[in-house]
Amino acid sequence: MQECYIKDFPDKIDQEIIIKGWVANRRSSGKLSFLILRDGTGICQVIVEKALFPDTYSEIKKLPLESSVIIQGRVVKEDRAQGGFEVHASHVQIVHVSDEFPIGKKEHGPDFLLKNRHLWLRTPRQIAIMRIRDALIRHIRTYFYTNDFTLIDSPILTTTCGEDTSSLFSIDYFDLGKAYLSQTGQLYLEAAISGLGKVYCFGPTFRAERSKTRRHLTEFWMIEGEMAFYDHKQNLDLQEDFVSYIVQNTIRDKAQELAVLERDLAPLKKIEAPFNRISYDEALDILHKNGSNIEWGSDLGGDDETVITRLFDKPVFIESYPKKTKAFYMKQDPARPECVLCADLLAPEGYGEIIGGSQREDNLDILMQSITDNGLDPERYDWYLDLRRYGSVPHSGFGLGLERTLTWICGLTHLRETIPFPRMIYRAYP
Ligand code: 4AD
Ligand code: MG
């Protein structure tokens, strides 16, 4: 007798096997009971014949959903069954009789589902999303690996703020005062490029975001690349190549899971470099023509991004933002000092920003000025300023939000389903 997984059934036809899993669904018709079993690798139908189970049939027939079982039986090819196979049971061991599962066929509101996230995770849509997430992460890592980037794990506890001081989570760090949960690994990547050339990090990042939107988490995963001797344009070329690669590979790999989500793949198949590039000024023109009265110098909001991305069927870079809307480290445009050499990449179909990136300020004096102008304490940045004292080079990088990218690929309306246990302003349970 061989223990196996449902995914291995094509090699097990007509063999007697053992599988272990959960009852995802069931129905019975007099002499037969059909259990839909989920084992973590797939779904199959198990047929339990009343005549073979005189003592236990009545219990099996009424097994509550999500009960766990071990089934022994024969694998039979059956094109009409979900997955193409069924198991004719010869032995059923009930491991645990489940309490009544709170998530059923009826519609549940998001609050209920999020409160029950630990249980919601085992339902078909959520399983599909987690598998797509896994594949996306794998392709991201492969891209960096095959393009000669070295992984640098940046710290989560930091004493230097990388982005906006208003969204820092701070903690008391022994006798050293305040430390923060990392908002970005970028500053540390900038240190690593001088030894390693092209580097990346991929880890959880934290923002005490007060915004309660469909695009904001307080804990999310970010992939950041940093490249020595790359200018702004080379940075964008790399980003569009990277995004095309991860989208095409993920949708090819996970077509089945995307079908569970009823994602239309046609718009995603078009995601190929080159992407569109417009300036911040052009973006403002578009918004003004669409009835907005946004003023030069304001950052674009989520709704503004939605308006712009609906006009393009590929991602669009918005370049050259006003310096005052962006982080202190971005390189001032020598031709236009009120702007910085940066771009946000907006995903189409209304999804909005998935990448923020820029060339970095490599001039010590301008950077120092920028740090003080932003009200930051230069002492905490002394190590970072050293990078402009010892072999400073032009360099650039970017950060891609994993959950925003996944929300787009999966075609979801809210990013909360793309992370196993979402953390948002009003939610840290379970
Ligand atoms: O634009 P951001 O803030 O850029 C940085 O952190 C840079 N240091 C990156 C770099 O150049 N190395 O964030 C990058 C991306 C955003 O485009 C977005 O996709 C995602 O991170 N992001 C969030 N995702 C979910 N919830 C939030 N609160 C997010 N904030 C940013
Ligand atoms: Mg940004």
What is the arithmetic mean of pLDDT over 65-94? 96
CA of 56 to the centre of ligand 1 (A): 56
Which atom number of ligand 1 is nearest to the Cα of residue 398?
11
pLDDT of residue 251: 98
pLDDT of residue 105: 73
Q: Which residue's CA is the nearest one to ligand 1's atom 15?
A: 401
Q: Which residue's CA is the nearest one to ligand 1's atom 11?
A: 398
What is d(CA 397, CA 214) in angstroms, rounded to the nearest whole number?
A: 26
What is the arithmetic mean of pLDDT over 38-61? 96
Confirm or reject: Cβ of 416 under 6 Å from ligand 1: no
Which atom number of ligand 1 is nearest to the Cα of residue 162?
8
**Local structure of 45: helix, strand or coil:** strand
Confirm or reject: Cβ of 185 under 6 Å from ligand 1: no
**Six-digit token pair at 269?**
């198949």
Q: Are 167 and 185 in contact (CB under 8 A)?
A: no
Which atom number of ligand 1 is nearest to the Cα of residue 344?
17
Q: Which ligand is nearest to the CA of 224?
A: 1
Token pair 């193409």 in the structure block, residue:
84
Confirm or reject: Cβ of 315 under 6 Å from ligand 1: no
Confirm or reject: Cβ of 184 under 6 Å from ligand 1: yes
CB atoms within 10 A of CB 97: 14
| Least confident span in 55-59, 161-165, 179-183, 345-349 | 161-165
pLDDT of residue 55: 95
Confirm or reject: Cβ of 406 under 6 Å from ligand 1: no
Q: Given ligand 1 and candidates 161, 182, 222, which is best to mutate, with the most ligand atoms within 8 Å of its CB?
A: 222
What is d(CA 318, CA 345) in angstroms, rounded to the nearest whole number?
A: 6
Tens digits of residue pLDDT in 152-206: 999 999 999 889 889 999 999 999 999 999 999 999 999 999 999 999 999 999 9
First-to-last C-alpha distance (Å) of the chain:
40
Judging by DSSP bridges, how do beta strands 198-206 and 316-319 pair with one another? Answer: unpaired
Which atom number of ligand 1 is nearest to the Cα of residue 189?
12
pLDDT of residue 211: 83
User: Is the predicted pLDDT of residue 148 greater than 80, yes or no?
Assistant: yes
**CB proximity list for 342: less than 8 A, separation 6 or greater:** 232, 319, 320, 321, 326, 330, 331, 356, 357, 358, 359
Confirm or reject: Cβ of 190 under 6 Å from ligand 1: no
Q: Which ligand is nearest to the CA of 352?
A: 1
User: Is the predicted pLDDT of residue 119 greater than 80, yes or no?
Assistant: yes
CA of 415 to the centre of ligand 1 (A): 14
pLDDT of residue 253: 98
Q: What is the mean pLDDT of the chain?
A: 97
Domains by residue range for the chain, with CATH? 2-96 (2.40.50.140), 115-418 (3.30.930.10)
The radius of gyration of the chain's CA atoms, rounded to the nearest angstrom, is 26
Q: What percent of the chain is modeled with pLDDT above 70?
A: 100
What is the arithmetic mean of pLDDT over 69-98? 96
